[in-house]
């Protein structure tokens, strides 16, 4: 009986040690979360010089038809002192091709930046509202204009890859 009691105690001790190690690993992972400053730095580096290449829908219009392409070629992206973000952007979709300096709000959902536009007039394009989240090398969101809207999504092509592609063409 003492052997089985000793074996049970040993098993309990091993289980407790495993639980303690798991708790410590969880705490270490929580401590490893990047700071807001680090998240913002990564966002600025990811977006600066990148090209967002994707597709967009128009609610009620795309029924069975191929989705339309849009393209956002970015210059430098950085946080302004007033909390807004500066985006040097070339916006291309349909027959539109416009270069604009933009000051936009970026909200954070944990570690995920969400570009937030609410009834902003874009010269040559119109007034739009949008919520676009950025995660790793992808973006996705919703948009609306004066009397229409839809979804948008695509890939973020880094600055180096964008430069290589344009050099190849």
Q: pTM of the full predicted structure? A: 0.75
Over residues 114-141, mean pLDDT: 95
Q: Quick one: tokens of 106?
A: 């970026």
pLDDT digits (tens, 9 = 90+) for 93-109: 888 899 999 999 999 99
Residue with tokens 């303690």: 20
Give the integer Cα–Cα distance in Å for 108 and 5.
53
Give the integer Cα–Cα distance in Å for 80 and 88.
13
Q: What share of the chain is helix, strand, coil (3-state, %, to 5)?
A: 30, 45, 25
pLDDT digits (tens, 9 = 90+) for 9-44: 665 555 566 766 777 767 765 667 899 999 999 999
Q: Is 40 helix (H, G, I), strand (E, B) or coil?
A: helix
Give the integer Cα–Cα distance in Å for 74 and 161.
13
């Amino acid at each position: 009986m003492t052997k089985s009691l000793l074996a049970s105690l040993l098993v309990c001790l091993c289980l407790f040690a495993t639980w303690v190690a798991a708790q410590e690993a969880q705490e270490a992972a929580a401590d490893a979360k990047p700071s807001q400053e680090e998240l913002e730095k990564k966002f600025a580096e990811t977006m600066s010089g990148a090209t967002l290449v994707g597709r967009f829908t128009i609610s009620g219009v795309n029924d069975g038809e191929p989705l339309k392409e849009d393209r956002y070629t970015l210059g430098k992206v950085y946080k302004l002192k007033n909390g807004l973000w500066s985006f040097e952007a070339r916006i291309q979709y349909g027959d539109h091709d416009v270069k604009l300096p933009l000051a936009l709000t970026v909200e954070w959902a944990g570690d995920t930046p969400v570009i937030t536009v609410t009834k902003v007039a874009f010269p040559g394009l119109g007034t739009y509202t949008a919520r676009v989240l950025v995660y790793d090398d992808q973006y996705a969101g919703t948009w609306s204009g004066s009397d229409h809207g839809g979804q948008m999504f695509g890939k973020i092509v880094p600055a180096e890859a964008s430069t290589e592609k344009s050099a190849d063409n």
